[in-house]
A and B are shown apart, each in its own frame.
Chain A
């Protein structure tokens, strides 16, 4: 165990691409945790997808032995997931720290996501060290960014540390500041054990591995434990630290960060945010802040090939081993057959899961338009929560529909303020606050129905601000009544459930018209005319027709063309296989995606 005065626990808060992973690598290198030659770029981001997208999905932590001007210290760097969908997980990682490095790109400045996490850190009482990265870039404007940082967290621009994680300049100064500025953890070793589970992952051989931060007491190998939220009572099979390789220790004391293996094999029996105590001498109060993971966005996932249903189930089960936030239940669609209704923390989470299913499990999927959960007040009392437009009760059977609301934070260059406000208004946003972070940059806070931002809102924000605005959102607790209706799409007279959506009544007509015209462009001509209609209830609000195909024949078929023609037709036939048959109509996969892009034009 380490003397608490010699421990510093911290996170790095940064926007995607602002250099968090590079800085982490540099710190590992400077503290000798890894030899320079062992350094793989960005050691902490282990999943392929993370490397590609440059984001951190699962948090990790590493223990660094640092020798500074005032002696030897243990620095625990606790990585935080870098995206809005994982706010809760970020908050748990931050709860394991006493301080945070707020890392901002010298050219880009502060982004909404950084700001949201910085506020989260400040609210959790963390000490903040403002740092500007990439000062070596030609486009760097460290003075402007320093002023911006100070306007958010206070202090003196001169105290903002300027570094280049890439070249290593300023990293030593930063390490020294971490020891000097950040408080040491508190907590008595004689108190009852209270350790925060701030992350967990599934290992094929060891079962669930928890990342823990001990607040008080002592977590020793062999202890009989209790997880206070779930009531699980396993033994501590192994306790250790990460340097970054796992290294077993006898015990972790107050302020220490490490891992815990208990023999539990099912990830959903361990909850991030839970408090570990000793079964024999339990703490009376758990650590604050625990929350059940709550899916916010829902989408139906269907295998293109119906035979893949079982494979999809197995793949989802495997993903869930490491992703407690992913929920799914079987769903049957008239149009798409058997699949799963899946719940996600947010849009990125949804995209990541879909990509992993396709990439790692080689599944071809059709995803239906994402939707949110609605509370439906029923005639005769009671409330029904629906996660799919299909489940919406008839208008005569319901009294109202309530929808989830999120608090949206947007940082935009001041010149786009009007544009962004307009966009938010179009999406039924209600203005909260407007703050000038600097003369050039504005922060807007709105309350917006979640359903309004699940359909490509982010893309529209980016395109209207030429990529300069950034967005973050967090769910509010209340569901608010709204004037909503379901728009159905009929193909050749038959409703296609996968295209149904619940939309605000003022937008129903527009939505129907756009989707119908988009589908007309995407659905190839068939052997017969295919009418496409949008309807609210029995009222048709838009209609177009895919005219029957008139010419579908190769012009020449002579001696030299026989093999080629056969191969060409074979290829076309393969193409047809990737089509979904909806009744007699062949519909390409992209038709289902088109629902997501409905507002882009």
Chain B
């Protein structure tokens, strides 16, 4: 079988037609100060939560086709025991069916990974581990408020590398105090440990987080210029190690692009389960209640956990297609919205600035670090027919 490059148009476009499922595990040992996901510290409600998840999964409608991707994210899925994770995965499979090539991915934190856990997860059916390493520098890990050390991160990466076929590491750049050298060392370490996939995220100050309060009170904020340099370093090192950048923040070896993510960027459909989980089905985006207790209560009382939804009109959907598709290195078919963008004043400005590139009927972001300027230009278009 021919393996597509992670940034190939064929891979990007085929993922758009596939279906996926996301299972949210909100538990964490401690909450990182920069995190604004739907998470809780401790696992007090784990049993009731797993029961609720199972109930939600069992009541969901399957897609016409079996899933090509399942992603367990959080939170920290490994905060649950491997048995519970296995039961949940089984439930998803029996409800939705799995494609033979299905990608079964799990987010894990280094402090939860031992040889035994890794083997148990593999046994349970997980094939891809995404490790939340963030940095291989102890001082950076400390300022990020992470629970693990650099040594633990190295050990955990080695363990999963030895057990799983597909290993990804998340790194975070721009932590105040992290210089270019430290960042370079972290990226190099991840690559030397032989990861198949590398996600590099700029530290972002999200509203309502302890980090944003600290910054408001005068703590140093991430420096966007330094982050730009760090992004470039990561891209260069990853490329040198044979990884291809296929999205703004993601690099992979051929055959290791995250299918679940490609489905998202292709405006594809996915089911989602758990508190705060977002799904996209039948053209409707909807999301569950964010508070863990509320989610559990609703399910236990036989109520729907859905707390909000958004159905876009044809124009908004078309804009969203381009908006999401442009995250990919493969770019996106220009289509109605893309054509309109190119004709608009702001659209030509981003083309002139070398940010947006036109290649036949496809649009690509040539300078991913400035991609949101293109998104805003798209959203600023006057709605039209499509």
Question: What residues on B are CB-neighbors of A550 within 8 Å?
Answer: 224-225, 228, 369-370
Chain A residues with CB under 8 Å of B380's CB are: 573, 576
Given contacts A552-B369, A557-B324, contact A562 B349 (CB under 8 A): no
- Can you sample 26 A-B contacts with CB below 8 Å? A527-B373, A549-B224, A550-B369, A551-B224, A551-B231, A551-B370, A554-B372, A555-B201, A555-B202, A555-B204, A555-B248, A555-B249, A556-B201, A557-B324, A559-B260, A559-B263, A560-B287, A562-B278, A562-B280, A562-B285, A563-B278, A563-B287, A569-B379, A572-B372, A573-B379, A576-B380
Listed residue (B263, B324, B368, B376) with the most chain A CB atoms within 10 angstroms of its CB: B376
Q: Tell me the A residues contacting B by CB distance below 8 Å.
A: 527-528, 549-563, 566, 569-570, 572-573, 576, 584
CA distance A151 to B88 in the complex (A): 89
Name B354's closest neighbour in chain A (CB-CB): A527
- Name the distance in Å between B205's Cβ and chain A's nearest Cβ: 11
Q: How far is the CA of A555 from the CA of B264 in the complex (A)?
A: 15
Spell out B's residues near A (CB within 8 Å).
20, 22, 37, 201-202, 204, 224-225, 227-228, 231, 248-249, 260-261, 263-265, 270, 272, 276-280, 285, 287, 310, 320, 323-324, 327, 349-350, 353, 355, 368-373, 375-376, 379-380
Alpha-carbon distance A570/B225, docked complex (angstroms): 24
Report Cα–Cα, A563/B369, bound state, in Å. Answer: 21
Could you say which of B270, B285, B368 contacts A553, with CB atoms under 8 Å apart?
Answer: B368
Inter-chain contacts of A560 with B (CB < 8 A) = 22, 37, 272, 276-278, 287
Q: Are B261 and A558 in contact (CB-based, < 8 A)?
A: yes
The answer to whether B228 touches A573, judged by C-beta atoms less than 8 angstroms apart, is no
How many Å from the CB of A558 to the closest CB on chain B?
A: 6
A562 to B22, CA, bound (A): 14
Chain A residue with the shortest CB-CB distance to B223: A551
Distance, CA A447 to CA B204, complexed state (A): 55
B75, chain A: closest CB distance, angstroms: 12
Give A573 to B369 CA distance when docked, in angstroms.
18
A554, B264: Cβ atoms under 8 Å? no
Q: What are the nearest 3 A-B pairs in CB distance?
A: A550-B228, A555-B201, A560-B278
Within the assembled complex, what's the spacing in Å between the Cα atoms of A558 and B279?
11
The smallest C-beta distance from B290 to any residue of chain A, in angstroms, reads 11
Interface centre among B201, B324, B371, B372, by most chain A C-beta atoms within 10 angstroms, is: B372
Asked, given contacts A550-B224, A550-B369, A551-B370, whether A559 binds B272 with beta carbons under 8 Å apart, the answer is: yes
CB <8 Å contact, B368 and A562: no
- Chain B residues whose C-beta falls within 8 Å of the C-beta of A553 in the assembled complex: 248, 368-372
Q: In the complex, what distance in Å separates the CA atom of A549 from the CA atom of B376?
A: 15
A528 contacts which chain B residues (CB < 8 A)? 353
Task: Find the A residue at minimum CB distance from B24.
Answer: A560
Q: Assess whether A573 is in contact with B376, with CB atoms less than 8 Å apart.
A: yes
Contact B379 A570, beta carbon cutoff 8 Å: yes
> Does the CB pair A551–B228 fall under 8 Å?
yes
Q: A553-B370, A553-B371, A558-B264 are in contact. Are A563 and B327 (CB under 8 A)?
A: no
What residues of chain A lie closer than 8 Å to B265, measured between beta carbons? Answer: 557
Q: Which residues on A sit within 8 Å (CB–CB) of B376?
A: 569, 572-573, 576
Beyond A527-B353, A553-B370, whether A566 also contacts B202 by CB under 8 A is no
Query: Of residues A550, A553, A557, A569, which shows the largest number of chain B Cβ atoms within 10 Å of its Cβ?
Result: A553
Chain A residues with CB under 8 A of B224: 549-551
Chain A residues with CB below 8 A from B279, complex form: 559
Are A552 and B276 touching (Cβ within 8 A)?
no
- Nearest CB of chain B from residue A520's CB, rounded to whole Å: 15
A310 to chain B, nearest CB (A): 23
Nearest CB of B to A391, in Å = 32
Taking the nearest CB of chain A, how far is it from the CB of B1, in angstroms?
Answer: 27
Residues of A within 8 A of B201 (CB): 555-556
Q: Check B370 against A562 for contact (C-beta < 8 Å).
A: no
Q: In the bound complex, do residue A556 and residue B310 qualify as a contact, i.e. CB atoms below 8 Å apart? A: no
Complex formed: what's the CA distance from A566 to B326 in Å? Answer: 13
A212 CB to closest chain B CB (Å) equals 57
- Per the bound structure, the CA–CA distance linking A561 and B285 in Å amounts to 11
CB pair A556–B350 under 8 Å, yes or no, is no
Please give me the residue from chain A that is nearest to B203 by CB atom. A555
Beta-carbon nearest neighbor of B21 in chain A = A559
Instruction: Report yes or no: B349 in contact with A551, Cβ–Cβ below 8 A.
Output: no
Separation of A573 and B377 alpha carbons in the complex (Å): 8
Least Cβ distance of A275 to chain B in Å? 60
Determine the distance from Cα of A573 to Cα of B344 in the docked complex, in whole angstroms: 15
B62 → A minimal CB distance (Å): 18
When A528-B353, A566-B323 are in contact, do A552 and B264 touch as well, CB less than 8 Å? no
| Chain B residue with Cβ nearest A550 | B228
Known: A551-B231, A559-B260, A562-B324. 17 other contacts (CB 8 A): A527-B355, A549-B224, A549-B370, A550-B228, A551-B369, A552-B369, A552-B372, A555-B248, A556-B201, A557-B324, A557-B327, A559-B279, A562-B264, A563-B278, A566-B320, A573-B376, A573-B380
The answer to whether B379 and A559 have CB atoms under 8 Å apart is: no
Query: Measured between alpha carbons, how far is A566 from B379 in the docked complex, in Å?
Result: 8
Q: Is the CB of A584 within 8 A of B272?
A: no
Nearest CB to that of B308 among chain A residues?
A563
Who on chain B is nearest to A581 by CB?
B345
Residue pair B278, A559 in contact (C-beta under 8 Å): yes
Contact of A569 among B22, B353, B368, B375 (CB under 8 A): B375
- Structural contact, B227 and A551, CB atoms closer than 8 A: yes
Q: Which residues of A contact B327 (CB under 8 A)?
A: 557
Q: How far is the CA of A416 from the CA of B288 in the complex (A)?
A: 64
The answer to whether A527 and B370 have CB atoms under 8 Å apart is: yes
A418 to B277, CA, bound (A): 67
How long is the Cα–Cα vector from A576 to B373 in the complex, in angstroms? Answer: 11
Measured CA separation A563–B279 after assembly (Å): 10
Q: What is the CA–CA distance of A366 and B270 in the complex, to the nearest angstrom?
A: 47
Q: Report A-chain residues with C-beta under 8 Å of the C-beta of B373.
A: 527, 552
Q: How many Å from the CB of A75 to the closest CB on chain B? A: 56
Query: Which residues from B are CB-within-8-Å of A584?
Result: 349
For residue B371, which residues in chain A have a CB less than 8 angstroms away from its CB?
Answer: 552-553
Tell me, in angstroms, the Cα distance from A566 to B272 when the chains sit together. 19
Residues of B within 8 A of A563 (CB): 278, 285, 287, 310
Min CB distance, A396 to chain B, in Å? 40
- Report the separation of the CA atoms of residues A555 and B265 in the bound assembly, to the nearest whole angstrom: 14
